[in-house]
Chains A and B, each alone.
Chain A
Amino acid sequence: MNNKWEMVIGLEVHAQLKTSSKLFSSSPNRFGSEPNENVNFIDSGMPGMLPVLNYGCIEKAIKTGFALNFTINKYSVFERKNYFYPDLPQGYQISQFEFPILTEGFINIDADEKQKKIRIERAHLEQDAGKSIHDIDQKYSFIDLNRVGTPLLEIVSYPDLSSADEVVNYMSSLRQILMYIDVCDGNMQEGSLRADVNLSVRKPGEDLGTRCEIKNLNSFKFIRQAIEYEFQRQIEILENGGTIEQNTMLFDTSSGETRAMRSKEFSHDYRYFPDPDLLPVNITQEQIDQIKPTLEELPHEKLERYINELKIEKNISKIIISEKDNTKVFEKMISETDVSPKVIASWLVGDIFAYVKENNFEVLDLLDRTKLIMDLLKLVSEDVISNKAGKEILPKVLSGEGNPNELVKEMGLEQVSDTSELEKIIDEALVGEDENIAKFQGGSDRVLGYFVGKCLKASKGKGNPKLINKILIEKLQK
């Protein structure tokens, strides 16, 4: 039934900017402080207080402009969005409306094995509101103004998204880019990145349907659940002959359902007008040009470089670039050694990440251990120890139990590359194997593997497999 319907989705993503102070006041922009600790007279809306623009936020917006292919507007205007709520002390939010700083951008996302271009209508700077806490007391709500005035960049896409997968890919691409360029810390749990989802349904080829906006989703899981639920809800209404009301919806994370918060009829009239306390923002070409060189390498640029220059497989490259922290560790590693990046990459996404995950490490914790890890990988690549021995030592290196050279000695894992010793092991291994020897000589390569395995076992894993292979062949061909 549902395959007759398609969903049309546009996203409004709110990204908190990584700045030391707020958008219009000098209070610290910090998460996790005591309630109302980061609040000054401006934030609390005291009489006569005036906003002063933090130019650092303009710089972050310009950076975002480059990264998301926006037109960077030299003229933009802060306006007041008026509404009453206790966590909005001024009685208005300072935002950009008619003249946003960024317009007409795009990014490419993965969609069905292909790349899809998602157009972005605009991005504007605005203040975040405070937090109302309703679950401490039966009668009273409590207000924490720490978040008041935190700089946000609201990134508004066109309705170019047509599935939950695409939305998640778009959102995670945005997150990745914003983290790469140091604009946002990407921490969705702390609310650093949140999305409002605008969803409507239609039959292919028809005009856009009436949309509902699902507010304030802060995890990929919830975004997916909310979209799937809302999609079905709208279809059900339409299939039963109903019409969709343009509503603002809340997503109930415990029930997994969306429900109406307010209808269009009761929607606020925000009475936007230019904030007379602030001048229009005029930025010069020179200021824009100064910021361009500070732009970090973007994820897709890094991906191409890893694949084409470092010769790392695509899927491994993708895993590394998926988080900026991974690339920090990886790029430090390759700068410290002559072991090939390809080998390092496969160790990193394999055993090293597995260890990090199992032991609740942060990837960044690896940064002060890269030297030791590289020592270990060097021992492996120079055949001083076997790959297997390397894997045995790795956890001890990562947990800080010692340096690889000492550990190899302590654990007696040094590879046996002494030819005479290996010959002795091989000779012993060939005793009573006349049948298999005959098979090899008869052209079966498979037995070679069997013999190598047997010899390695006899050497307790310490025999150099390459040498064993070589000597074996010589002996068998005799």
Chain B
Amino acid sequence: MKQSISQIKKSLTDKKIGVAELYSEYANKAKANLNNSYNYVIDDDENKLFIEQSQQRYTSGDNLPLDGIPLGIKDLFCTKGIKTSASSKILSNFIPQYESFVTKELLNSGSIFIGKNNCDEFAMGSSNETSHFGPVINPWRSKTSPDDDLVPGGSSGGSAAAVAEGSCVASMGTDTGGSIRQPASLCGIVGLKPTFGSCSRWGIVAFASSLDQAGPLANCVEDAGHILNAINKHDFNDTTSSNHKREDYVSEIHEKMEGKIKIGIPSDYLIDVNQDILNQIENTKKVLSKHEIEFVDVKFTTTDFALSTYYIIAPAEASSNLARYDGIRFGVREDGESLDDIYLNSRTQGFGDEVTRRILIGTYVLSAGYYDAYYRQAQKVRRLIKDDFQRVFNEVDFILTPTTPNEAFKIGDKLDPISMYKNDIYTVPTSLAGLPGISIPSGLSSNGLPLGIQLIGNYFKEKQLLQLAALAEKELAFNE
């Protein structure tokens, strides 16, 4: 079984292993890049100083919360002096001169970056197949057809695969409609999307600003808590960063939760769902019921509209956020005879099909004459979805759903966009509402592939959410 951050830190403190040795163990796997989980692996030389400084802190007995922990970073976070491509051709030569808020906090906590994880282009995708650098292969294989390369999910597919394959202890992902939780589920690991506004978006290549949120992909809930402790901070440079009071998300994570807990299971989420998925919910219900946790049926009235709402709002924002990639100031420029030609050539050749599709959808729904029918309407529905969740949270403390409607599928299997979009059906409503959600592995499908459950909490209830998830993790005993 993989070691947790606490266990690794103990080994480092007890000098059973050195920081350099630990780093090599993970970096060597990353360099092999067997599953194409990395777009870029950082040179040992560039990390030398970080490793030495970390080791010195352990030697002096005064280490930092994530000291020496090797992390993967989704290639959507700008990292100073290190290539940041968003898995797009148009940014394939881009080296930021600044460090994103979240990765800066991770560096300040002593962690060491292994490399930049492959992801869907501009985080647009649910299978990591839209990356300019090729698909990521899920380290898991199906019992029934073990020769098939499976998708790791997306968009943080490289991050999920890297954690699952053991080429980093944890990885930073981003989640816009499920991009942390869905790949975590398909790769059998933990993925947390915090409340919108918890972690600064400053320095993260933007996809959909009102939805994008950074969060960890990790081997266990406690590890996710450690990462959250490091990155959940108010940032004046992100207007949408919340200044609510932050808590310690780890110190009480294994303690018994206060009061009687009530968990809602939305019955409307479980219509037409396959038995493998239903089993996850049933099993979770069973193991948690021992702990004086009550389960009740809840019903949402807005579920049917969530996906279409999401696929209006997210592309609308994306169409504008991606306007800056024009080949003029940075990134790849394709020349042309006129200014319009430069725009046309750079963007046509620089963006892949899925990104182009979403820019077109977004441009359309914001156009004169269509704005009211699509964008404004979607914003209204989004409000109703938020209200719907608050109504349910008046009755229950948490909500339990599947993370995905299916297990990992074969690379190239889902060719039409709609069936791909449907993969995010359970994660998108939470994103639209801005609520925190965590996916933890709950069991295996009949094909022997990992499946996850999603636990959703109310705004800024990450501490309680992680406590519940840690309890469920222990009871489900997926890792054992």
User: Using a CB–CB distance below 8 Å, which chain A residues touch chain B?
Assistant: 41, 44-53, 80, 82, 84, 86, 89-92, 141, 143, 269, 271-273, 275-279
Would B205 and A82 count as touching, CB distance under 8 A? Answer: no
Please state if B205 and A50 are interface contacts (CB–CB under 8 Å). Answer: no
Chain B 64-78 interface residues, beta-carbon cutoff 8 Å to A: 77-78
A132 — nearest CB in chain B belongs to which residue? B339
Question: Quick check: A89 and B329 within 8 Å, CB to CB?
Answer: yes
A279 and B239 contacting across the interface, CB-CB below 8 Å: yes
Which chain A positions have C-beta within 8 A of B240?
276-279
Of A44, A47, A86, A271, the contact of B205 (CB 8 Å cutoff): A47
| A422 to B368 CA separation, bound complex (whole angstroms) | 89
In the complex, what residues of B have CB within 8 A of residue A53's CB? 239
Instruction: Convert B292-327 into 0s and 1s, putting 1 for each residue whose CB lies closer than 8 angstroms to a CB of A.
Output: 000000000000000000000000110110111010
Contact B329 A44 (CB under 8 A): yes
**A271–B84 CA distance with the chains assembled, in angstroms:** 29
Within the assembled complex, what's the spacing in Å between the Cα atoms of A91 and B100?
21
Of the residues B323, B328, B371, contact of A92 by C-beta under 8 Å: B323
* 30 interchain pairs, CB-CB under 8 A: A44-B329, A45-B329, A46-B96, A46-B330, A47-B78, A47-B91, A47-B205, A48-B96, A48-B201, A48-B203, A48-B204, A48-B205, A49-B202, A50-B201, A50-B238, A52-B238, A80-B320, A84-B323, A84-B326, A84-B343, A86-B326, A89-B324, A91-B324, A273-B316, A273-B317, A273-B320, A276-B208, A277-B206, A278-B239, A278-B240
Question: Size class of B's contact patch?
Answer: 35 or more
Give complex CA distance A276, B239 in Å. 10
**Considering the chains assembled together, what is the distance between the CA atoms of A82 and B368 in angstroms?**
12
Query: In the complex, what residue of chain B is closest to A275 when comparing beta carbons?
Result: B209
| A48 and B237 within 8 A (CB) | no
Compute how far the CA of A86 lies from the CA of B317 in the bound complex, rounded to whole angstroms.
21
Nearest Cβ on chain B to A21's Cβ, whole angstroms? 14
Which residues does chain A contribute within 8 Å of B269, judged by CB atoms?
none
- Residues on the A chain within 8 Å of B201, using CB: 48, 50
**In contact, A52 and B367 (Cβ under 8 angstroms):** no
B240 to chain A, nearest CB (A): 7
Listed from nearest, the 7 A-B pairs whose CB atoms lie closest are: A91-B323, A276-B209, A271-B366, A276-B210, A45-B324, A48-B203, A47-B205
Residue of chain B at shortest CB distance from A84 = B343
Q: Which residues of A contact B202 (CB under 8 A)?
A: 48-50
- A residues less than 8 Å from B209 (CB atoms): 275-277
Which B438-463 residues have C-beta < 8 A from chain A? none
Which residue of A is nearest B323, CB measured?
A: A91
The answer for the CA separation of A41 and B202 in the assembled complex, in Å, is 11
The complex places the Cα of A278 from the Cα of B238 at a distance, in Å, of 8
CA distance A50 to B78 in the complex (A): 13
Q: How far is the CB of B248 from chain A (nearest CB, A)?
A: 27
Q: Mark B237-273, 1 if CB is under 8 A from A, else 0.
A: 1111000000000000000000000000000000000
A41 and B205 alpha carbons, distance in the complex (Å):
13
Nearest CB on B from A339, distance (A)? 54
Which residues in A have their C-beta under 8 angstroms from that of B210? 276
Q: Is the CB of A52 within 8 A of B236?
A: yes
The smallest beta-carbon distance between B450 and chain A, in angstroms, is 32
Query: Which chain B residues border A278 with CB–CB below 8 Å?
Result: 239-240
* Listed residue (B86, B96, B237, B323) with the most chain A CB atoms within 10 angstroms of its CB: B323
B328 to chain A: which residues have CB within 8 Å?
Answer: 86, 89, 143
Q: Nearest chain A CB to B39's CB is how many angstroms away?
A: 15
The total of interchain contacts (Cβ-Cβ below 8 angstroms) comes to 97
Q: Report how far A345 CA is from B274 CA in the complex, Å.
A: 92
- B326 contacts A52, C-beta separation under 8 Å: no
**Chain A contact residues: over half helix, strand or loop, or mixed?**
loop
CA distance A47 to B328 in the complex (A): 13
> Chain A residues with Cβ under 8 A from B78's Cβ?
46-48
Give the residues in chain A near B367, CB-CB below 8 Å: 269, 271
Residues of chain B within 8 A (CB-CB) of A52 are 236-239
What A residues does B421 contact at CB under 8 A?
none
Beta-carbon contact of B323 and A82 below 8 Å: yes
- Grouping DSSP codes into helix (H, G, I), strand (E, B) and loop, the B interface class, with mixed when no group exceeds half, is loop
For B208, the chain A residues whose CB sits under 8 A away are 276
Residues of B participating in the A interface, judged by any CB pair closer than 8 Å: 77-78, 84, 86, 91, 94, 96-98, 100, 201-206, 208-210, 236-240, 316-317, 319-320, 322-324, 326, 328-330, 339, 343, 363, 366-368, 371, 375
In the complex with contacts A46-B330, A47-B206, A50-B237, A92-B98 CB distance below 8 A: no
**How far is A48 from B74 in the complex, measured between Cα atoms in Å?**
14
A141 to B98, CA, bound (A): 28
Would A273 and B366 count as touching, CB distance under 8 A? yes
A298 CB, nearest partner CB in chain B, Å: 34
CB distance from A84 to the nearest CB of B (A): 6
Q: List chain A residues, Cβ under 8 A from B94.
A: 47
Residues in A neighbouring B236, C-beta threshold 8 A: 52
A296 nearest CB across to chain B (Å):
31
Contact A271 B98 (CB under 8 A): no
State the CA gap A47–B319 with chains docked (Å).
14
Question: In the complex, which residues of chain A have a beta carbon less than 8 angstroms from the beta carbon of B319?
Answer: 82, 271
Residues on B with beta carbons closer than 8 Å to the beta carbon of A51: 239
* Pairwise interchain contact A48-B100, C-beta atoms closer than 8 A: yes
| B203 & A90 in contact (Cβ 8 Å cutoff) | no
- Is B320 in contact with A82, judged by CB distance below 8 angstroms? yes
Q: Is the CB of A46 within 8 A of B239?
A: no
Distance in angstroms between the alpha carbons of A41 and B239 in the assembled complex: 16
Residues of B within 8 A of A90 (CB): 323-324
> Looking at A44, A46, A52, A53, which has the most chain B CB atoms within 10 Å of its CB?
A46
Q: Which of these, A46, A47, A269, A277, contacts B368 with CB under 8 Å?
A: A269
Q: CA of A48 to CA of B237 in the docked complex: distance in angstroms?
A: 11
Question: With the chains together, A127 CA to B2 CA distance in Å?
Answer: 52
Nearest-Cβ distance from residue A89 to partner chain B, whole angstroms: 6
Is the Cβ of B98 less than 8 Å from the Cβ of A41?
yes
Expressed in whole angstroms, the Cα–Cα distance for A49 and B99 within the complex equals 11
Check if B86 sits within 8 Å of A47, measured CB to CB: yes
Contacts of A44 in B (CB 8 A): 329
Q: In angstroms, how far is the closest chain B Cβ from the Cβ of A93? A: 11
Chain B residues positioned under 8 Å from A272 (CB to CB): 366, 371
Min distance, Cβ A142 to any Cβ of chain B, angstroms? 12
- A271 in contact with B238 (CB, 8 Å): no
Docked pose: A255 CA to B205 CA in angstroms: 47
B89 to chain A, nearest CB (A): 14
Contact call B204/A92, Cβ cutoff below 8 A: no
Q: How long is the Cα–Cα vector from A143 to B342 in the complex, in angstroms? A: 15
Question: Which chain B positions have C-beta within 8 A of A275?
Answer: 209
Q: Please, which residue of chain B has its CB at the minimum distance from the CB of A42?
A: B237
CB pair B371 A273 closer than 8 Å:
yes
Taking the nearest CB of chain B, how far is it from the CB of A443, in angstroms?
A: 87
